Amino acid sequence: MKLLSLLAALPLSVLSAEKPNIVLIYADDIGFGDVSINGATAVRTPAIDRIAKEGINFTAGYCTSATCTPSRFSMLTGKYAFRQQGTGILPGDAALIIDPAQPNLPATLKKGGYRTGVVGKWHLGLGPKGGPDWNGTIKPSPNEIGFDFSHIMAATGDRVPCVYVEDGKVVNLDPADPIEVSYGKPIDGEKTGVTHRSELTMDWSHGHNNAIVNGIGRIGHMKGGAKALWRDEDMADHFTGQAVRFIRESKEQPFFLYFALHDIHVPRVPHPRFVGKTTMGPRGDAIVQTDWQVGEILKVLDELKLAENTLILFSSDNGPVLDDGYKDDAVTKLGDHKPAGPFRGGKYSSFEGGTRVCTMLRWPARVKPGKTSAALVSQTDFPKTFAAIAGVEAGFPDSLDQSAALLGESETGRDHVIQQAGRLSIRMGDWKFIPGGKGERKNQKTGTELGNEAAGQLFDLSKDPGETKNLAKEHPEKVEELKKKLAAVR
């Protein structure tokens, strides 16, 4: 008995003699309901499901924002994006928004002896004020904020420049064909999605009609860099190859891999071997491709006998969207599929669908398999929690050590989560409050219900997860309580 209580008092770091590897697979725009373990039947996701089955499936896991840049910012810095100006969706030529001097997750783990790597979608800006030098050395890049290795795209698949950047250099750049990027005026002589619309291989529905790269209209203009341009069809293979390479090269020491998938963001152009794998068109096929990528990571961990002491976490940066700017049949071929599962809204939305996302974690050495957890967990807590697991002292403005909840030892988790969309909402216990104010009810372009009403809305998620019944008038005292908490956090 005495020994047991002594053990319980020991910090986690002492108990896990060997620091676990940490692999964070971060999908883009995948909804809670887009995976089979959360109810999808029109698409199967055996690899993602395997993480949940051999670990924990969280039903109340939240990203901090209903769009990409702020979610990633909070997840890597442990600081709410709303506390810092300029953390909204960034153009592809934005400067790095994480100050190398501020505490962050990769630098913290590096300090703890980890080899750290990021592969995939970055979208947190690159270079100094004024933006990156595409034809020289791009600095600061992820390598200046604690990543030993980076192989990324600057922003998104639909934003120029459509090139990969490794450790601060554009991959395969021919100096005789320099890159020029403009998020303002078109570049002279360059074809655009407006002037040459009939040449496009995938038509746009809104925006996405500037530069044409690989037959697809993009946001922003670019010229040059022909040899460095990516082929969308090969992107999943490309990034997966780099992620696997990082794991193989890091196997002798604890490592942290942040594998930020491009899928299933637009443009959805899966490799031909995945085309037609679902009845849902490119969006469904991109989910199959996502699952394949996750499977490749599980496979290499098995092969290198690293699975046992690797903490692997799968999640997403925001909720689902169907038409995000290209005519890719996501709406017409949806059928009965429910991308956000039982939740209302999606990407851009204050409703649960905006920020309640797939969250599954496996760590065989430490976590009992086969659990479903309703604990409130937020990606904002990853820095402090992973630091605690790695045994590194670190402080972050908004990040809490939630290792008990994330490792399945407690069903409680946070007492509240903040959800950033058009405005800041709060969930506390089972209650959810979306403040009233000016704003769009529905995103006219994507069709998403945003939940941004003139009047405040209060929902009881235990009885009404779909947020259909506004209880604000019936429970003014709850509204006050949540308002107060939100103001205090703010």
Q: Which residues bind ligand NG6 (CB under 6 A)?
A: 28-29, 67-68, 89, 123, 156, 158, 206-207, 219, 265-266, 318, 324-325, 445
Distance CA 346, CA 355 (A): 8
Q: Which of ligand NG6, Ca ion, none does 458 bind, CB closer than 5 to 8 A by kind? A: none
Binding string to Ca ion for residues 314 to 353, with x set by CB under 5 A, is what?
---xx-----------------------------------
Closest distance to ligand NG6 from the beta carbon of 92 (Å): 10
429 by Cβ neighbours in 10 Å (0-12 / 13-18 / 19+) ranks as: middle
The answer to whether 116 touches 106, Cβ cutoff 8 Å, is yes
Residue among 83 and 206 whose Cβ is closer to ligand NG6? 206
Three-class SS of residue 99?
coil
Residue among 56 and 260 whose Cβ is closer to Ca ion? 260
Residue among 362 and 423 whose Cβ is closer to ligand NG6? 423
Residue 407 DSSP one-character state: T
Query: Which of 20, 25, 27, 28 contacts Ca ion by CB under 5 A?
Result: 28
Closest distance to ligand NG6 from the beta carbon of 324 (Å): 4
282-321 residues in contact with Ca ion (CB under 5 A) are: 317-318
Closest distance to ligand NG6 from the beta carbon of 26 (Å): 11
Q: The tokens 């690989």 sit on which residue?
A: 214
Three-class SS of residue 405?
helix
Closest distance to Ca ion from the beta carbon of 487 (Å): 28
Residue among 69 and 143 whose Cβ is closer to ligand NG6? 69
Residue among 73 and 256 whose Cβ is closer to ligand NG6? 73
Q: Which of ligand NG6, Ca ion, none does 158 bind, CB closer than 5 to 8 A by kind? A: ligand NG6
Phi-psi region of 207 (alpha: psi -120 to 50; beta: other; left: phi over 0): left
Residue type, position 54, single letter? E
Distance CA 8, CA 23 (A): 26
Element (H, E) at 151: strand 149-153
Residue among 68 and 340 whose Cβ is closer to ligand NG6? 68
Residue among 34 and 324 whose Cβ is closer to ligand NG6? 324
The DSSP-derived string for 173-229 is --TTS--EEESSSPPTT--BTTTTGGG-SB-BSSS--SBEETTEE-BSEEE--GGGB
Distance CA 304, CA 293 (A): 17
The answer to whether 373 touches 58, Cβ cutoff 8 Å, is yes
Residue nearest to ligand NG6 (CB): 207
The answer to whether 7 touches 15, Cβ cutoff 8 Å, is yes
Angle at the Cα of 305 (from 75 to 36), degrees rounded to 5? 55
Closest distance to ligand NG6 from the beta carbon of 65 (Å): 9
Closest distance to Ca ion from the beta carbon of 29 (Å): 4
Two tokens at 155?
């922003």
Two tokens at 224?
């040059």
Query: Which of 24, 35, 68, 388 contacts Ca ion by CB under 5 A?
Result: 68
Closest distance to Ca ion from the beta carbon of 309 (Å): 30
The answer to whether 256 touches 109, Cβ cutoff 8 Å, is yes
Candidates 62-70, 84-92, 117-125, 133-141; binding stretch for Ca ion (CB under 5 A): 62-70
Phi/psi at 241 (5° precision): -60, -40
Residue type, position 326, single letter? Y
Candidates 21-29, 107-115, 335-343, 389-397; binding stretch for Ca ion (CB under 5 A): 21-29
Closest distance to Ca ion from the beta carbon of 89 (Å): 9
Residue among 68 and 280 whose Cβ is closer to Ca ion? 68
CA proximity to 353, closest of 462, 450, 483, 273: 450
Residue among 44 and 445 whose Cβ is closer to ligand NG6? 445
- What are the residues whose beta carbons fall under 8 Å from the beta carbon of 462, sequence distance 6 or more? 430
Residue among 29 and 285 whose Cβ is closer to Ca ion? 29
Residue among 318 and 448 whose Cβ is closer to Ca ion? 318
141-170 residues in contact with Ca ion (CB under 5 A) are: none
The answer to whether 416 touches 400, Cβ cutoff 8 Å, is no
Closest distance to ligand NG6 from the beta carbon of 60 (Å): 22
Q: Which of Ca ion, ligand NG6, none does 324 bind, CB closer than 5 to 8 A by kind? A: ligand NG6
Query: Which of 19, 29, 284, 420 contacts Ca ion by CB under 5 A?
Result: 29
Candidates 28-36, 103-111, 391-399, 450-458; binding stretch for Ca ion (CB under 5 A): 28-36
Q: Which residues bind Ca ion (CB under 5 A)?
A: 28-29, 68, 317-318
